[in-house]
């Protein structure tokens, strides 16, 4: 009798366990896999230090590792250079100014520049065979060109819109030829408004704009300059007013100075820095938008341009959709001064993470963690 009773109890327990829900990506099994992957990374990269923070709902999990050569372990107060992740801040300022009516995302850039500064436009080219003369180089001459290409007068010029700068579809190159170098290193503090205007007055866009994605630090520089002109403030002042104060970012800034180690106009593209705590706070506001700044962030999440299969670009963010489960994540990363930062959030707002650190291979580790957390079914 006792054995039958025990059998029934055990059977009931087994049935109950079989009805429990499967683990979600934030359950310990997946986070344990994340920790395991980070441990393997540290074996391969003993020179790297890193900080990892995972948010889901009101819960968080943070991991900190010092490099294995005697370096200091990062913590929430550690400040990181953001590199191209700074574009998220500049785009946040852009959308905030737009929602206040200070400027329009769909307006041509030329509307916000001095009237004597021509802004590049795209216009279809017409190529005609070159007529041979005695002065024409021979076909064996490197200077020889069989065609001359000029703008088609019947094609309406297409101006660069402000939103194209944020989606990197403006047709502008990554860097301008007017950015000088010192000792083989770009002289960012030496890039002036005059350098920017000189490039804009000469450059010719050769591919259709608004569709083809080509990352352009120059585009973010131009966007930051437009924001400064329209607000009448320094870019760091606009950042404090429109981003840092509403979000409570207490250890974040744009390095807009011209001293060594700062970035001048290039601060809008690559010159941000933030504590790990501030990065987690920015991520949390993206996961749970609230107030006017929350409306700004939600607006930035909408994909605008498809750049490849399963990959789109939003305002400041990259968007990736996993084919197997249809889950979509927004992400952005940047590297500068030997530091790398990556921020990822699930479009549904369920979870996200920040990875930051020093050393090599962190960008690849971030991609691996992104796939590990979100490529599998919920």
DSSP 211-245: TS----HHHHHHHHHHHHHHHTS-HHHHHIIIIIH
What is the rounded distance in angstroms from the CA atom of residue 205 to the CA atom of residue 147? 18
Distance of alpha carbon 193 from the chain centroid = 24
Please name every residue paired with 305 in a beta bridge, in sequence order, or none if there are none.
Answer: 313
Please name every residue paired with 56 in a beta bridge, in sequence order, or none if there are none.
Answer: 59, 351
Residue 19 above 60 pLDDT? no
Give the range among 135-149, 151-165, 172-186 with minimum mean pLDDT: 135-149
Kindly indicate the confidence band of residue 130, based on its pLDDT and cuts at 50, 70 and 90.
low
Residue 226 above 70 pLDDT? yes
Residue 5 above 50 pLDDT? no
Query: Which pLDDT score is estimated for 71?
Result: 84
- Rounded average pLDDT over 311-335: 93
Query: Which pLDDT score is estimated for 200?
Result: 96
Residue 12 above 50 pLDDT? no
Beta-carbon contacts of residue 158 (< 8 Å; ≥ 6 apart): 121, 122, 123, 208, 209, 210
Residue 3 above 70 pLDDT? no
Kindly indicate the confidence band of residue 121, based on its pLDDT and cuts at 50, 70 and 90.
confident
Kindly indicate the confidence band of residue 192, based on its pLDDT and cuts at 50, 70 and 90.
very high
Residue 61 above 70 pLDDT? yes
Give the range among 28-37, 242-251, 305-314 with minimum mean pLDDT: 28-37
Distances from the Cα of 13 to the Cαs of 1, 8, 18, 21, 132, in angstroms? 19, 9, 9, 15, 92
- Rounded average pLDDT over 119-133: 71
Residue 143 above 80 pLDDT? no
Query: Which pLDDT score is estimated for 237?
Result: 97
Residue 6 above 80 pLDDT? no
Query: Which pLDDT score is estimated for 150?
Result: 64
To the nearest whole number, what is the mean pLDDT of the chain? Answer: 88
**Predicted confidence (pLDDT) per residue in 337-357, tens digit:** 999 999 999 988 899 999 999
Kindly indicate the confidence band of residue 224, based on its pLDDT and cuts at 50, 70 and 90.
very high
Kindly indicate the confidence band of residue 15, based on its pLDDT and cuts at 50, 70 and 90.
very low
Of 217, 4, 204, 26, the C-alpha closest to 121 is 204
Kindly indicate the confidence band of residue 151, based on its pLDDT and cuts at 50, 70 and 90.
low
- Rounded average pLDDT over 24-39: 76
Give the range among 3-12, 117-126, 155-164 with minimum mean pLDDT: 3-12
Residue 144 above 70 pLDDT? no
Long-range contacts of residues 53-56, Cβ cutoff 8 Å, at least 24 apart: 53/276, 53/279, 53/280, 53/283, 53/353, 53/354, 54/26, 54/351, 54/352, 54/353, 55/280, 55/283, 55/284, 55/287, 55/351, 55/352, 55/353, 56/26, 56/350, 56/351
Of 27, 45, 83, 59, the C-alpha closest to 272 is 83
Q: What percent of the chain has pLDDT over 90?
A: 71
- Rounded average pLDDT over 89-95: 97
Query: Which pLDDT score is estimated for 163?
Result: 96
């Amino acid at each position: 009798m006792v054995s039958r009773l025990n059998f029934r109890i055990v059977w009931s327990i087994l049935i109950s366990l079989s009805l429990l829900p499967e683990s979600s990506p934030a359950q310990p099994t997946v986070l344990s896999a994340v920790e395991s992957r980070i441990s393997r990374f540290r074996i391969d990269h003993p020179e790297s230090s890193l900080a990892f923070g995972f948010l889901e709902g009101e819960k968080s999990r943070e991991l900190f590792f010092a490099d294995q050569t005697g370096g200091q372990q990062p913590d929430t107060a550690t400040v990181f250079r953001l590199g191209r992740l700074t574009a998220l801040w500049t785009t946040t300022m852009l959308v905030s100014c737009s929602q206040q009516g200070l400027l329009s995302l769909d307006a041509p850039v030329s509307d916000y520049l001095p009237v004597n500064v021509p802004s590049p436009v795209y216009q279809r080219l017409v190529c005609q065979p070159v007529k041979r003369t005695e002065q024409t180089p021979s076909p064996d001459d490197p200077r020889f060109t069989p065609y001359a290409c000029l703008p088609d007068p019947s094609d309406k010029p297409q101006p660069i819109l402000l939103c194209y700068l944020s989606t990197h579809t403006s047709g502008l190159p990554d860097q301008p030829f007017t950015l000088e170098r010192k000792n083989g290193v770009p002289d960012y503090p030496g890039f002036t408004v005059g350098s920017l205007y000189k490039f804009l007055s000469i450059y010719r866009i050769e591919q259709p704009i608004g569709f083809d994605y080509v990352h352009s630090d120059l585009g973010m520089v131009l966007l930051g300059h437009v924001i400064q002109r329209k607000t009448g403030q320094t870019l760091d002042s606009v950042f404090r007013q429109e981003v840092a104060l509403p979000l409570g970012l207490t250890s974040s800034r744009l390095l807009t100075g011209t001293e060594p180690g700062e970035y001048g106009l290039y601060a809008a593209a690559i010159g941000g820095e933030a504590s790990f705590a501030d990065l987690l706070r920015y991520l949390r506001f993206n996961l749970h938008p609230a107030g006017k700044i929350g409306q700004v962030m939600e607006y930035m999440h909408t994909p605008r341009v498809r750049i490849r299969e399963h990959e789109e670009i939003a305002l400041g963010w990259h968007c990736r959709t996993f084919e197997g489960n249809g889950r979509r994540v927004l992400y952005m990363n940047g590297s500068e001064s030997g530091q790398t930062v990556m921020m990822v959030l699930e479009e549904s707002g369920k979870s996200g993470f920040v990875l930051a650190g020093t050393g090599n291979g962190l960008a690849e580790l971030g991609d691996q963690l992104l796939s590990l957390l979100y490529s599998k079914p919920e």
